[in-house]
Structure 1
Amino acid sequence: MKSLLYKRYINAFCAALSIGILLGSCVKRLDQNTQTLITDPIFWKDSTDLVSATNYLYVSLPDFGAATEELYSDFALDIRTTTVNTISDGSRVIPSSDGRWNNAYIYIRAANNILEKSGAIADGPTKTFCVAQARFFRALSYFNLVKAYGDVPYIGRTITGREDEALYTPRTDRRAVVDSIYADLDFAAANCPQADQLPGTPATTGSVGREYGRITRSAALAFKSRVALYEGSWHKFHGEPELKGAKDPNKHFTIAKQAAQTVMTEAKHSLYTKDGALSFQNLFRYPGETYANNKENILVRLYGKDITNNVSSNGGYMRSFLTDGGNAATRAFVTLALYSDGLPSGKSPLDSTGKETGLLTDYQNRDPRLVLTLFKTGDPYASISGGNPVYGNTYYYHQQKYWTGQADFLASPNLFLDFIAIRYAEVLLNYAEATFELNGSISDADLDMSVNLLRKRASNNDNSKLALLTNAFVTANGLNMREEIRRERSVELAYEGFRYWDIIRWKTAETELIKPLIERKYFENVNYGGATKPALLGGYVLFQPADKRKFNAQKDYLWPIPSAQIGLSNNTLTQNPNW
């Protein structure tokens, strides 16, 4: 049943549904579709057609490209090149076109079209579920727009032609757009099935339109907590010029906490722990696939089973971005991770910064998640030569989330590992952060039902490998609870696409992104395979010095509106401040 989500009628529907919609569209092409496929009553006749149209929207789910958004941040760099991502180092310029903008409005148009066409189809459970899914995906696309651009045009219906005034909608206040996102997600939560009401695996036969991988109630609620946490942080920590007018952070933090808490209390999900000390690693490998095997999975993007049951291609993420280092870790991640005593660098007596004696020092007495996130010398690795290669001596930190082994390395890009778009660990982190930001404090009981569950999973319930977080521990060690909750999130969700957006909403990007990008300690007596000695900073490999990095807090918290969109709007669109 897996292929139903993406493949059924895709060839027939992509042309109809993925047309350029807002401002960047070719009006002639829009008119042609209006006259043929989009309004063709021969197609929009029953719920089966509605299911087929809804299938297309799953193309908009986050994929492995979301993981590469770490390159925007201080946590990742591409060691295959001498250049750094222009968002990360502050050197980007206003683009003429931007796929984030264009694609979001393509999917919004497709969702709106389903909502409108559904009116002519008889009521029933399938219709209601399709409408709920369409509203979820409309919310997803609008959130992708708001978190990058701020105020964006809100289009709540399909555009009918070149004279349609909606084509020239000016930017809508983000508050109204976010409220519309909440409304869409509330409808989805009320009308989508619980996770255990769908088949637990793709192999299980289910009714058409209700297969594993579709939007569930918990997916809508978990995503709502993500949106609300982002918006609450934006209101609390941001002001002019990126956020004008009245601010109400508690409104959004309350929504975030309540949505997360509902997922927690309804108990359809739990952390993946069945592989003991390797659970955190295997969560992102084949053992962690499907809801039947892994209740931590709230929403995944399906890729298929093999070449004969291929849902979509992951584009060789494992080979290009993991093994080859296209999304390699930086020392910023290594430094942020705790030591096993629960204390950070600079406070822990176990701190080895500046005291490294070899390539394995960084991994000693550390948060187990650091060890399971990064390759270390001697780990199973991959090579085009085949055999059973191991990770050798490097002066970079290759990260390994979603790495599945030599066989898949050789098979790349035909890999079929699913990408986790939403997982239960994020819900726990959303709950903890929203709780703290609402109250300025968090109880030990709330820490035990959120952060400490993650630490127990990481250490396989051995507190000597990672101490638990308590208020007494924070006070006794001169720590800051907000910083520790943020640290927990950053380490748990590293290389899943969260880091950049988190430091943007926390308004700490102006501090973090101007630091030099560095890698591991360089050792003169280590054989690096004949590699040329790199530039160093204090003994650590220097990838980009601080004087090459900048972040303008007066403009860089929002992305620039693509210039072509402003021109095509007849100047009803305005540019973001100071771009």
Structure 2
Amino acid sequence: MKKKNIIHTILLGLLLTSTVSCKKYFDRDTYDSISSDKFFESESDLELYANGFIQKMVPSATTIGYSDINADYCAVNIPHDLLRADGNISPGNQGGWTESSWSNLRNINYMLVNMVKLKGKVSNEVYNHYEGVARFWRAWFYFDKVKTFGAVPYYDYVLKSSDTEATSKARDSREFVMDKVLEDLNFAAQNCLATDKFKGDGSVINKYVALAFKSRVCLFEGSYRKYHQVDPSTGNAWVNSQTASNKFFNEAVSASELLMGSNVFSLVDVDKEKSYRSLFTSEKLLTAEVIWGRYFSKDLSILHDLSWVYYSPTYGSKVSLTKRFVNTYLMKDGKPFTDKANYKTIPYTQEFTDRDTRLAQTVISPSYKMTNNGTTALYAPNWLVTRTGYHPIKFSLDNNADNILSRAASWNSLPIFRFAEILLNFAEAKAELGQFGLPEWNKSIALLRTRAGVTPVFPTTADSYLVNYYQNTINDPLILEVRRERAIEMCLEMELRWDDLMRWHMGDLLNSSNNPWTGMYIPNKSQSYDLNGDGQIDFEIGTSESVKSIVVSSSNVNQSFSINADNNLVWNYQRVWAEYKYLRPIPTEAIIRNPNLTQNYLWKNK
């Protein structure tokens, strides 16, 4: 027992210290570092090992709140390599397939293989819970791999370097891998516990987290199979395409309904002007709505850099929402803003009036205030940062007392799964199944719009602006309204919009010729503008770029401003899209090590 106590002490120390220390432990071959004969002997062993995955695999602040900046609704200073004509993405430099990239799977499978020693030593309920936790993380691992690469080899055992048959295995089909992911999520959703110990503060894996992830995964896969005619790994048609997509849609509905019917979660709706944004700026997770999230704390000096990256002209990417997307926010009466005859000429100072309250809680508005040096005052868009005038504030703090705008000092906790997403997943899956009527609307989209101060008008005709936005590929008014609501409610969260474009086969919205980065309306290029009514000039077109001024070019070269025919500001950067980009290439190095892997078919000649 003395050796066992030493092991416990080592593990506990690793779990309570920095992520770097935890990484050193988990990147080792677990079966060499700790003998399973001397571990996995009690419930506390399971808890310690499972908690290691929390430290190792929980998304970073950047992933949660800054990974969606390359989606269609954002303008950035320089787009991702995948979108640039000169972007350096190829099989030769693609990552994600090194030994360390697969180490999390090895550790998960190690737990699943060796925890059987605890059968009969702990209750079946506890045993099944921790098996469910491990299988949740395996599903998490493989879902990420499938989104990135498509078909991948599937392993449900501890892979050893000496196992040449396993290490030279070909890729399993995407259908096979995603069915395995669904099996794992079903087990986790059925067996993970939801008692106070495992629900509590919203930071650990439990039944509700498993259901939320199942809802997200199944919606993704169902729509991916529907909107992609062929498997982009092989170029072959899906096996039983409609049956398979409907299976995943139904599983998404089932998981969502279990969460919706649990009466555990609800939308935070205390103040329509503040409640939405409070979910992303509070120090504690608002667990009435947040199902799972990542904690940060000022007192414990557990901090992140989201305020810094969103406000810095050099550290961040100058992220801005586009005018074309901002136009999709509804009026409070539930009517489209774009139904107004003069919507193209409504200036920034007026376009927030009587709009969905989430707009002013997502970007700087004329009424936005910032506290600097103890003084609170109106704060206008900074033109050294914003490229369109629509500067995101969703994840940023409003008090610069700790210099949060210039260093990693933000302390707000961040949601990973919210009840709002579950409502959206339910609505979309039902709409895709053709089962979305007024009752389904009232218990999903209507709740979100009511929280945002918007009258939830049930749609009977397709909004022509949205039809055009989605390039005339969707004419169903219900699917269009669900997409509107999803983009607005989940804006900038967890790379969900990028994933949406991938699964909807809408990558063409990332092409600059289809979707230029438009900004605010400029009535007169020779005039200076006070954007918030404080008597100060906040925008003008000048001869140099500054906090309040930009330089307009007629050349439309990359990284230049221009004014289009509608007098909208445009941030110019040529972006290109092609069919092969829906998946990343299998790295050349991986194929050299294992020629049986084969390349994704559209990347073979790249």
| TM-score normalised per structure 2 | 0.80
Distance of aligned partners of 1:54 and 1:517 in 2 relative to their CA distance in 1, 3 Å threshold: same
1:369 aligns with 2:368: no
Give secondary structure in 2 for the equivalent of 1:270: coil
CA contact (8 A) 2:128 2:191 kept: yes
CA contact (8 A) 1:222 1:427 kept: yes
Distance of aligned partners of 1:386 and 1:6 in 2 relative to their CA distance in 1, 3 Å threshold: farther
1:566 is matched by which residue type in structure 2? I
Whole-angstrom CA distance in 1 between matches of 2:593 and 2:401: 45
Whole-angstrom CA distance in 2 between matches of 1:113 and 1:253: 32
Query: Which residue, 551, 573, 578 being the options, matches 2:577?
Result: 551
CA contact (8 A) 1:328 1:399 kept: yes
Equivalent pairs: percent with the same residue? 24
Distance of aligned partners of 1:362 and 1:117 in 2 relative to their CA distance in 1, 3 Å threshold: same
CA contact (8 A) 1:89 1:513 kept: no
Distance of aligned partners of 1:564 and 1:328 in 2 relative to their CA distance in 1, 3 Å threshold: farther
Whole-angstrom CA distance in 1 between matches of 2:401 and 2:502: 35
Distance of aligned partners of 1:213 and 1:511 in 2 relative to their CA distance in 1, 3 Å threshold: closer
Q: Which residue of 2 aligns with 1:330?
A: 322
1:575 aligns with 2:568: no
Deviation at 1:280, TM superposition (A): 0.8
Whole-angstrom CA distance in 2 between matches of 1:5 and 1:16: 7
Q: How many residues align?
A: 530
2:551 is matched by which residue type in structure 1? K
Q: Which residue of 2 aligns with 1:27?
A: none
Query: Which residue, 11, 14, 17 being the options, matches 2:26?
Result: 17
1:295 aligns with 2:261: no
CA contact (8 A) 1:76 1:328 kept: yes
Which deviates more, 53-62 or 386-395?
386-395
Deviation at 1:101, TM superposition (A): 4.9
Q: Which residue of 2 aligns with 1:223?
A: 213
CA contact (8 A) 2:510 2:575 kept: no
CA contact (8 A) 1:71 1:88 kept: no
1:451 is matched by which residue type in structure 2? I
Deviation at 1:140, TM superposition (A): 0.8
CA contact (8 A) 1:72 1:87 kept: no
1:504 aligns with 2:492: no
Give secondary structure in 1 for the equivalent of 2:569: strand
Q: Which residue of 2 aligns with 1:207?
A: none
Deviation at 1:70, TM superposition (A): 1.6
Q: How does 1:110-125 map to 2 (within 5 A)?
A: 110-121=107-118, 122-124=121-123, 125=125
CA contact (8 A) 2:209 2:291 kept: yes
Deviations 1:508-536 (A, max 9, x none): 22245342122223453224345332321
Q: Which residue of 2 aligns with 1:320?
A: 309
Q: Which residue of 2 aligns with 1:150?
A: 150
1:238 is matched by which residue type in structure 2? H
Whole-angstrom CA distance in 1 between matches of 2:142 and 2:13: 25
Whole-angstrom CA distance in 2 between matches of 1:98 and 1:382: 43
Query: Which residue, 46, 49, 57 being the options, matches 2:53?
Result: 57
1:379 aligns with 2:368: yes
Deviation at 1:263, TM superposition (A): 0.9
CA contact (8 A) 1:189 1:218 kept: yes
Q: How does 1:228-267 map to 2 (within 5 A)?
A: 228-240=218-230, 242=232, 244=236, 245-246=238-239, 247=241, 248-267=244-263
Q: Which residue of 2 aligns with 1:73?
A: 71
CA contact (8 A) 1:319 1:409 kept: no
CA contact (8 A) 2:459 2:477 kept: no
Give secondary structure in 2 for the equivalent of 1:300: strand
CA contact (8 A) 2:218 2:251 kept: yes
1:272 is matched by which residue type in structure 2? V
1:234 is matched by which residue type in structure 2? Y
1:134 aligns with 2:122: no
Give secondary structure in 1 for the equivalent of 2:343: coil
Deviation at 1:225, TM superposition (A): 1.1
Which deviates more, 473-482 or 448-457?
473-482
1:109 aligns with 2:110: no
CA contact (8 A) 1:104 1:145 kept: no
CA contact (8 A) 2:281 2:397 kept: yes
Distance of aligned partners of 1:530 and 1:506 in 2 relative to their CA distance in 1, 3 Å threshold: closer
Q: Which residue of 1 aligns with 2:343?
A: 352
Give secondary structure in 2 for the equivalent of 1:388: strand
Deviation at 1:264, TM superposition (A): 0.7
2:329 is matched by which residue type in structure 1? A
Whole-angstrom CA distance in 1 between matches of 2:393 and 2:47: 36
Deviation at 1:297, TM superposition (A): 0.7
CA contact (8 A) 1:63 1:421 kept: no
Query: Which residue, 64, 69, 85 being the options, matches 2:80?
Result: 85
Give secondary structure in 2 for the equivalent of 1:520: strand
Structure 2, unaligned runs of 5 or more: 1-11, 466-474, 529-536, 540-546, 553-560
Q: Which residue of 1 aligns with 2:268?
A: 272
Deviation at 1:447, TM superposition (A): 0.1
Deviations 1:280-332 (A, max 9, x none): 11121217x33xx53111111223x335x35x542x11111256563332223
| TM-score normalised per structure 1 | 0.83
1:485 is matched by which residue type in structure 2? V
1:392 aligns with 2:383: no
1:575 is matched by which residue type in structure 2? N
Whole-angstrom CA distance in 2 between matches of 1:5 and 1:344: 53
Whole-angstrom CA distance in 2 between matches of 1:382 and 1:577: 51
Whole-angstrom CA distance in 2 between matches of 1:332 and 1:89: 21
CA contact (8 A) 2:517 2:570 kept: yes
CA contact (8 A) 1:275 1:282 kept: no
Distance of aligned partners of 1:54 and 1:175 in 2 relative to their CA distance in 1, 3 Å threshold: same
Whole-angstrom CA distance in 2 between matches of 1:142 and 1:283: 29
Deviations 1:97-155 (A, max 9, x none): 55655565222222111112212233335443322211111111111111222111112
Q: Which residue of 2 aligns with 1:444?
A: 438
Deviations 1:351-402 (A, max 9, x none): 522x134x3233223222112111124412366x664354225452111112
Distance of aligned partners of 1:458 and 1:345 in 2 relative to their CA distance in 1, 3 Å threshold: closer
Query: Which residue, 471, 474, 480 being the options, matches 1:483?
Result: 480
Whole-angstrom CA distance in 2 between matches of 1:561 and 1:51: 35
1:228 is matched by which residue type in structure 2? C
Q: Which residue of 1 aligns with 2:396?
A: 403
Which deviates more, 183-192 or 521-530?
521-530
Deviation at 1:423, TM superposition (A): 0.4
Distance of aligned partners of 1:63 and 1:4 in 2 relative to their CA distance in 1, 3 Å threshold: farther
